[in-house]
Each structure stands twice: as C-alpha cells, then as structure tokens.
C-alpha cells in the first residue's frame, strides 16, 4: 500500500487550486521518510538549524540553534544529531520532551539551498538532541535573501523581555524585516500527530521589507506568494491554527519570537487588506519575546534584488 504524501489539510488546499493530482505524483517522488546523502552532507555545512515545536503549555514556537559547521550531523539516513541545546532565553528552553514532534529547516543563505524535515525527538541531553526523521524533502529556493555571515566582533550578553501586545518598537522592527520563519503543526491537544503524514513543520517566508504589516496591537498580516504548492504551512493551519513566528535581525543579531494562532483568508471569500494578494495570513499574538544579541553571527546582504 502506498501512503499519500500529503495529509488531509494539504490535499484540501491543493484541490482548491486544482493541483491535487499533480502534487500527489510529485509528493511520491520528492517526499521521503529519510535523508538523502546530499542532505546529510548539507546539514553538516550549516552554522544554524531552525526547529519548530510546542512547549509544555501547548503553544507552538519557531526557534533556531547556532553552532560551528559540523554541529549538525547525520550518523545515518534516519537520524539527525544536533550538538547544541537551546539557549536559556529561548521560549523552548527546557520545554522539549522525548518523542516530541519536531519540525526542521536547514537553510544555507549564501547559496539559497534548503531542506525541510520533520520527526520525533529520540534523545535529549544537556548539550545535544537526536531526532528521528519521518519526512524530508528539498524545498523551493524562492524568496530567500542571499546573505553571507561573519562572527560578531564583540560578544554582548543576551537580554530578553516578554510581551503580549505589539508596541511601537516591536512594530518597527518587524515591518523592516525581509525574512521570518513560521512553525505549524497538525497535532491534537495532547501533542499527538493526527494523521500518518502529519507532524511539526517550520518554513521560511521572505519578501521585500514591509511585506509583513502589524495592523493592531495583537495582529499582523502577510501575503502568501506563489510557491511549490505543497501547502505544508497552510495545510497545517487548516487542521490546527496554532503557529509560532521567528524574526531575526540578521544585521544586529536580535530575535523576535511570537506564538499565537493564524488564519488564512482567500480573495474569493474576503476583502483582503493586501492589494493584489490571492490569499493572506492573519496572525493573532498570544505571547512574544524580544531577545537582544541572541545570535553569534551577523549577516550581510549580498544582493538586494534577489527576493523573487
């Protein structure tokens, strides 16, 4: 028996735009329950890896771990080893449990290469985690801003504060950014995967500065640009509205973590706020955290014309 590559939410959206049969065929070819050799080697080159998971209260967060090249490794095609743990300021710090569902994203900003995967946390120590891969696929390189990194010349201590509403400073920071990461899941309230092809996911979203707009003190919106039609993020939101967003100030090393719920609005059914968008996402903030000096790296934009 051949299992569907996509879960119910993803299939419903693919059906809506008329690509369900095409995507079923592509999914069988490109979505795999293991890491290809090229992706195992790819992860070992990265200075950071993004994860999506839920905390003990059931909130979903998007996060990132940093390290020197080689801190992520794959001893075999079914496992990914991360030789680092989340920092104490991270919303997921001390929140992960064995067998937790984890979404993974590896992204190489200078080359725009990336790989998405999800799986289960098999082992957790004070300094590392091991994730068993359940699904992996190479991903569309659209809308990635090409950047090159260097280490921060001065190591400043991280400083964090939490918030439940957007203030002026947070709004200005968010609306100036060209990149964020969104974590979603198809889980039930007990944290269990609802469907055979469900789980946690984390995805990159990019666009010109201003493509994310804060419309009130608890809501931001962004347009969905054409992509690979997998609808991993939107398919999850159809089943489970919880979401986590991570904004990184690549130039200065600051992080903004957000958790809340999100809804997708379609132009056929709503008067959208973003001109020309076919669909847009409204994210409703429940909790946020601003962390200054979170990243050991600083990134320089190589070509501002690349976000296409």
Domain ranges of the chain: 8-301
Q: pLDDT at position 256, please?
A: 98
Q: pLDDT at position 127, please?
A: 93
Q: pLDDT at position 138, please?
A: 76
Q: pLDDT at position 288, please?
A: 98
Beta bridge partners of 258: 245, 288
- Asked if CATH classification 1.10.3720.10 holds for the domain at 8-301, the reply, yes or no, is no
C-beta separation of 121 from 131 below 8 A: yes
Q: pLDDT at position 139, please?
A: 67
- Residues 20-48 have a mean pLDDT of 81
Span 242-258, pLDDT tens digits: 999 999 999 999 999 99
Region of poorest pLDDT, from 109-113, 140-144, 204-208, 242-246: 140-144
Q: pLDDT at position 226, please?
A: 62
pLDDT greater than 60 at residue 207: yes
pTM equals: 0.90
The structure tokens 């986590």 sit at 244
- Residues 288-298 have a mean pLDDT of 97
**Closest residue by Cα to residue 23 from 182, 186, 181, 235:** 235
DSSP string, 76-97: STTEEEE-----TTSTTTTT--
* 305 secondary structure, DSSP code: T
């Amino acid at each position: 028996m051949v299992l569907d590559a996509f879960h119910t939410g993803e299939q419903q959206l693919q059906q809506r735009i008329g690509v369900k049969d095409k995507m079923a065929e592509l999914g069988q070819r490109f979505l795999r329950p293991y890491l290809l050799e090229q992706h195992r080697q790819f992860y070992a080159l990265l200075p950071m890896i993004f994860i999506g998971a839920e905390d003990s209260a059931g909130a979903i967060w998007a996060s990132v771990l940093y390290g020197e090249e080689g801190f992520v490794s794959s001893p075999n095609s079914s496992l990914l080893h991360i030789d680092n743990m989340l920092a104490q300021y991270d919303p997921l710090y001390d929140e992960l449990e064995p067998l937790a569902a984890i979404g993974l994203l590896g992204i190489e900003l200078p080359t725009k290469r990336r790989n998405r995967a999800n799986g289960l946390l098999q082992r957790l120590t004070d300094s590392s985690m091991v994730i068993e891969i359940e699904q992996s696929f190479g991903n569309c390189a659209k809308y990635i801003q090409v950047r090159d990194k260097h280490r921060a010349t001065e190591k400043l201590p991280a400083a964090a504060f939490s918030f439940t509403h957007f203030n002026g400073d947070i709004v200005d920071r968010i609306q100036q950014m060209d990149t964020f990461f969104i974590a979603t899941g198809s889980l039930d309230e007990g944290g269990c995967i609802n469907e055979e092809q469900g789980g946690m996911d984390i995805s990159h979203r990019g666009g010109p500065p201003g493509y994310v707009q804060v419309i009130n003190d608890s809501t931001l919106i962004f347009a969905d640009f054409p992509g690979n039609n997998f609808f991993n993020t939107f398919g999850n939101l159809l089943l489970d509205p919880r979401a986590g967003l991570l904004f990184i100030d690549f130039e200065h090393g600051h992080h903004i973590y957000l958790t809340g719920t999100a809804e997708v609005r379609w132009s056929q059914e709503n008067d959208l706020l973003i001109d020309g968008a076919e669909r847009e996402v409204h994210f409703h903030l429940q909790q946020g955290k601003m962390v200054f000096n979170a990243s050991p790296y600083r990134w320089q934009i190589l070509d501002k014309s690349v976000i296409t």
